[in-house]
Structure 1
Amino acid sequence: MEAYPIKLSYHVRSYAFGDRRIPELLGKRGVPGGVVAETWEISDYRETTGRVLNGPYAGRTLHDLVEEFPDELVGKGWRGPHFPILCKFLDASRMLPVHLHAGDETAKRKYGEPNGKTEAWHILWAAEGATVLAGVREGVSREELREAFLARDYDAVMVRRGIESGDTVYVPGGVLHSFGPDTLVFEVQQTSDLGVSVMPEDLYGRPLGEEEWRANIEAALEELEPDPRPVPNPGLPLEEGDNRRVLCCAGPHFALERWTLAAAHREPPHPRRCLTLSNVGGGEVALEHAGGTEVLGRAESCLLPASIGAVRVVPEGEASLVACYVPDLQRDVIAPLREAGRSDEEIRGLGEVGL
């Protein structure tokens, strides 16, 4: 494989909860007019798989490359049906539906899918007083949940917490959740689009019939995991100084870091895992590698193949990036944080780290 920073076409969803914050606040170019609720920056989900925009593989799909170069692209020894993570910008100018995504076991048993959908929201911008709903209150019965959903009284049975820019919320599959209004997030998730809502409208705001709405509620109650109650977390610093790296969340499916760079940063080789980078700052970032240089503009994303070797990340002024990867939890998360003096309790707060 010819390894270089791979840019991909992005997929747009115009759900009713969105508006224009992705182009207006992040500066993303080329988006269509009207509502832009989500841009799927790195995706290998079925028909949304990205198409390569640059370099020798221009015109080919991400799925093509995953199938042909699993070791060189994703990581030595990796095998799977699709690229393992999906990264998106999400504009919750309005409240998202209250919904959940199937966990791995439910996805396989009920839907015949290879995996479910655990996700995390990294808060890029939130208005003062913004909140998330995530998880159900302890001791709430199935009947109380059903009654609350039919009454649209979600606060009666769910946990609401405040959020700020820089927080991250790790949401395992099966956890009931919503957020918005007035929130802009970067989301990383398992590659899946399974989901069931308990609200009487669909994602585009169209009303559902009574029978369909009630059937969705019953499906959600069947798939619900009642115990996880996600808590927004500011993350744990891995590096301080001119350049700051914060480990924001971690679990078996993905880890997310936020990088704030005032000087060049050398990202060492990672032959066992690839890395996605999304530029969420105000200027361009140069990615220097053995084969040349690629520039990442505002609100652009790319994939650094596992075989690319060292990459020098050079900011234009101060840069802000989100980096995602599938971690080896002991090597990439637990060991470096323990070395930095972090307690196991702090590390557990990042998600599902196996401690």
Structure 2
Amino acid sequence: MTSPFAAPLVLQAQFSERVWGGRRLAPEAPSPVGEAWVVYEGNVVAGGPHAGRTLGGLSGAHPAEVLGSRAREERFPLLIKLLDCAEWLSVQVHPDDGQARELAGEGQLGKTEAWHILEAEPGAELIAGVRPGTGTDELRAAILEGRVMDHARRQPVSAGDTVLMPAGTLHALGPGLFLYEVQQTSDLTYRVYDWDRPPSAGRALHLRESALVTTNAQAAVEHSGPPRAGEAQELTRCDYFILERLAGGEAVEGDTRGESFHAVTVISGEARLRWEGGEVTLGALDSVVVPAALGTYRLEGDFTALRSRLP
């Protein structure tokens, strides 16, 4: 009997307007769109036997088949976004799992995330941690007194760079960046500074919480050359995910082995995803989840893609 998860799950992205957003993701939208949530538990499956169901609903009902043996719980564990930054995002920090439960309640998760820069205008930069030598007490006082920018560490970035951002690390994305973000399934954010923009609904500062969870760590910007044709190049890993860059030109082989789903987002070109029993064509910025139960597959064509999976 054929498994109901013997085919990839093609997902419908969800777009969100943001005060700092640009025009790359939805040029025809009436207001700037900052985020596309391309793989997360609320995404709806676009076709096939599971059309109309959400990724989270399928994960909860069929955890072994969708998530795989490495999953720690039945909730879909990752949230993958595309971000188009025309202005500075707020300076913010995320709690770890224990802090999330303590500050926001049982069932809440922390947020460790990683960024992969797809496009960067000349001079583009981001904030990734604090300046070396900043003490913990000094940082806490600066947050509470509204002086966090005295200690924020700005770093230049270029297309192809990757930044792993552990929970507790001060961070912000700057203008002129278009990027891929993979993170724990959590939207728990503490806003430290918002560039003196007028206060508005949903954009309050969280100075007390930020002072409790922000560490004096610095996050490194990793520079990696382009992968060879047919290669799966590891960009970063942590306790929550592995992020890889895939280069077409030659076939890229994949195998879930029943251990983890593979979330694939094409970032340029066009890819044909083939498996025993079918194929689907993915254009630029399309995303698909290969269920853990599917097993072997291959990606063919002239493309570059990013793949996230469980460690």
TM superposition score normalised by structure 1? 0.79
Which residue in the other structure is 2:295 paired with? Answer: 309
Q: Counterpart amino acid of 2:159? A: S
Alignment equivalent of 2:190, drawn from 177, 185, 196: 196
Q: Tell me by how many angstroms 1:2 deviates.
A: 2.8
Q: Tell me by how many angstroms 1:206 deviates.
A: 4.3
Regions of 4+ moved over 4 Å: 143-153
Relative to structure 1, the CA distance from residue 111 to residue 23 in structure 2 (aligned partners, 3 Å threshold; closer, same or farther) is same
Which residue in the other structure is 1:37 paired with? Answer: 34
Aligned: 1:160 with 2:154: yes
Structure 2: 5+ residue stretches without partners: none
Identity of aligned residues (%): 31
Q: Counterpart amino acid of 1:322? A: L
Which residue in the other structure is 1:230 paired with? Answer: 219
Q: In the aligned structure 2, how far is the partner of 1:11 from the partner of 1:68?
A: 22
8 Å Cα contact 1:126/1:183 also seen in 2? yes
Q: In the aligned structure 2, how far is the partner of 1:70 from the partner of 1:81?
A: 5
Which residue in the other structure is 2:120 paired with? Answer: 126
Which residue in the other structure is 1:175 paired with? Answer: 169
Structure showing the higher helix proportion among its residues: 1
Aligned: 1:10 with 2:13: yes
Q: Tell me by how many angstroms 1:198 deviates.
A: 1.5
Q: In the aligned structure 1, how far is the partner of 2:262 from the partner of 2:98?
A: 27
Aligned: 1:324 with 2:311: no
Q: In the aligned structure 2, how far is the partner of 1:147 from the partner of 1:100?
A: 14
Alignment equivalent of 1:65, drawn from 58, 65, 73: 58
Q: Counterpart amino acid of 1:83? A: F
Q: In the aligned structure 2, how far is the partner of 1:201 from the partner of 1:290?
A: 52
Which residue in the other structure is 1:207 paired with? Answer: 199
Aligned: 1:221 with 2:211: yes
Q: In the aligned structure 2, how far is the partner of 1:123 from the partner of 1:265?
A: 22
Alignment equivalent of 1:88, drawn from 65, 81, 89: 81
8 Å Cα contact 2:230/2:248 also seen in 1? yes
Q: In the aligned structure 2, how far is the partner of 1:232 from the partner of 1:135?
A: 11
Relative to structure 1, the CA distance from residue 300 to residue 218 in structure 2 (aligned partners, 3 Å threshold; closer, same or farther) is same
Aligned: 1:253 with 2:240: yes
Structure 1: 5+ residue stretches without partners: 25-30, 328-355
TM superposition score normalised by structure 2? 0.90
8 Å Cα contact 2:160/2:225 also seen in 1? no
8 Å Cα contact 2:70/2:310 also seen in 1? no
Q: How many residues align?
A: 304
> Which of 65-74 and 129-138 deviates more?
129-138
Q: In the aligned structure 2, how far is the partner of 1:166 from the partner of 1:306?
A: 28
Structure showing the higher strand proportion among its residues: 2
Q: In the aligned structure 2, how far is the partner of 1:32 from the partner of 1:208?
A: 21
Q: In the aligned structure 1, how far is the partner of 2:176 from the partner of 2:225?
A: 25
8 Å Cα contact 2:246/2:252 also seen in 1? no
Q: In the aligned structure 1, how far is the partner of 2:165 from the partner of 2:186?
A: 14
Q: In the aligned structure 1, how far is the partner of 2:15 from the partner of 2:72?
A: 28
Q: Counterpart amino acid of 1:244? A: E
Alignment equivalent of 1:76, drawn from 69, 74, 78: 69
Which residue in the other structure is 1:22 paired with? Answer: 25
Q: Tell me by how many angstroms 1:150 deviates.
A: 5.0
Relative to structure 1, the CA distance from residue 200 to residue 243 in structure 2 (aligned partners, 3 Å threshold; closer, same or farther) is closer
Q: Tell me by how many angstroms 1:310 deviates.
A: 1.0
Relative to structure 1, the CA distance from residue 34 to residue 95 in structure 2 (aligned partners, 3 Å threshold; closer, same or farther) is same
Relative to structure 1, the CA distance from residue 199 to residue 74 in structure 2 (aligned partners, 3 Å threshold; closer, same or farther) is same
